[in-house]
A and B are shown apart, each in its own frame.
Chain A
Amino acid sequence: MKDPQRLFDATDSSTRAMLEAARADGPSPRTHRGAAIALGLGSLGVASGTVASSAAAATVGAGAAAATAPVAGGAALAAGTAVKWVGIAALVGAASWGAAEVATRPTPTTPTHAAAPLNAPTVATGSPRMATTRLPSPAPDPAPTDVAPSPLAAPQPLAAPPPPPVAPRPPPSRRTASAATPPLDLAPPSPRAPAPAAPRAASTLVAETAKLEAARAALQTNDPTRALTALDDYGSAFPRGVLAPEATVLRVEALARRGGAADRAAAQRLGEAFLREHPASPLCERVRILVSQTSIP
């Protein structure tokens, strides 16, 4: 069976421009890096991966931010802040918000979504050619299979004495990190994005992330009271923090985890308020689960 000619090669200039733009689209390096950190892969640095290889990411950085414009407004509304995002400075802020959300996502240890059913992933029957798809191939990446010859080997214990797969959160002083891991702020200042807003947003972001990280770490060691203290700390340091939604979810979790009747009631109230205020947030699923747990005595 022969595939038809790609539209790209046989179309008018307007459609070609759209396809071209779509092919060049992608996450900003900052987002990419934030996701790596949240997955516990932070230390490796998205260095070779994004920053170096994808010209697309570099130039699209600004593009992505701007393309997000109208919807950034949506996010703001959803978050209950009636801010009207006008102008590009706002866009830059919006972009870092996105990255921030990722960076502080409570990590692999607490997936917002329970995974899909086991049989859900569809299976490619003999298509190593998948790899031929265009992607910003990170330079010297070994094939996955070189790394782990046997995916089914090494069953893991369910108990978890060693620390969970969370990346050690880089301290705020990450600017001094090694050359291999470009600091967050180095997300290529794209030619079109005015710089002023970016550095401030980034440094605030790092500070906010660090505080929330303290709360998350406390939760992880099953110390909800300390987590709540850390969250109070966050709340007073950043009364209008961009990570407020994540802070709220952590608070719901901490209250639910501590488990007194008053705590559970508070968790439920807070969680329900969150669901009302952020109906589209991907955190909702997690909040729903937490809330449903609080109603079980």
Chain B
Amino acid sequence: MGPVGAPEHMKPGVAAEMPFEPDVAGLLTQAERPMDQGSRADLRTMFEENYAFIWRILRRFGVAPQNVDDSAQQVFLVAARKIDVVDRAKARSFLLGTALRVAAEARRAGARAREEVREDLDLVASAAPNPEQLTEKKRALERFDALLDEMPFELRAVFVLYEVEGMSTHDIAPALGLPRGTVASRLRRAREEFDGLAKRAKARAASGLHREGRAS
């Protein structure tokens, strides 16, 4: 494997809710830098190995479906800009940390926008294909995302990485900048939370079906 040990400027930090500080001055200058062949190859490898992973976790972290593509790209744009300083052995961890912040930012922006279009969205929801048109899998995914949406973000992140992505708490801890014990306890809480939410959703669905059956 490659170089071990974090470059000095990369210090563990709180990943989840840190707001972006747009680097306005650097936007134009640094952005125009050409990338050498080696870096390009590295970026390519990072991209190919992690794009689907990053895309998926962004969605599960609550980025709205229509924004996931853009957010995923944002993550890799950050990687492209920092390609010279990213430790190749920890590329995935770097991308994950970046994805968390991008997700947090996108969620905030999304929340603001949702306030404004809520009514219209309701209309759209009712115009969506009826349940028979959705496959079981799609419905399962929708249910899952709806449950995740009700979880606190910090629990959700740990839950997704552990239960969906199959990461170990050992790997999750540094990627989130958390002690491993914290990851373990959040995971425990996340599972309890998820369990409760799933049970309630099931009960709601059952009563909803019941009502619907009576109405028709």
Task: State the A residues within 8 Å of B (CB).
Answer: 1, 3-4, 6-8, 14-15, 17-27, 31-32, 34-36, 38-41, 44, 46, 48-50, 54, 56-57, 63, 66-75, 77-78, 84-88, 94, 97-99, 101-102, 105, 108-138, 141-145, 147-152, 154-158, 160-165, 192, 279-285, 289, 292
Contacts and interface: CB of A to CB of B under 8 A. Distances in A.
A115 B84 contact: no
A20 B140 contact: yes
A38 B73 contact: yes
Interface of B: 1-4, 6-7, 9-13, 15, 18, 20-24, 26-27, 29-36, 38-53, 55-56, 59-60, 64-74, 76-78, 80-94, 97-98, 101-102, 105-106, 109-110, 112-114, 116-117, 120-121, 123-125, 127-129, 133-138, 140-144, 147, 160, 162-171, 174-177, 180-181, 184, 187-188, 191, 194, 198, 202
B15 A77 contact: no
A65 B40 CA distance: 31
Given A8-B163, A138-B49, A85 B127 contact: yes
Contacts of B10: 118-119, 121-123
Contact of A120 (B18, B114, B175): B18
Given A1-B169, A292-B24, 11 more contacts: A15-B198, A22-B144, A40-B80, A70-B128, A84-B123, A85-B124, A108-B80, A113-B77, A122-B175, A132-B168, A133-B165
B140 A121 contact: no
Contacts of B110: 280
A123 B65 contact: no
A86 B127 CA distance: 6
Contact of A130 (B74, B171, B191): B171
Contacts of A279: 109, 112-113, 116
Contacts, number: 415
B52 A74 contact: no
A121 B98 contact: yes
A124 B96 CA distance: 10
Contacts of B72: 27, 35, 102
B79 to A, nearest CB: 9
B168 A40 contact: no
A39 B26 CA distance: 18
Given A111-B31, A279-B112, A102 B73 contact: yes
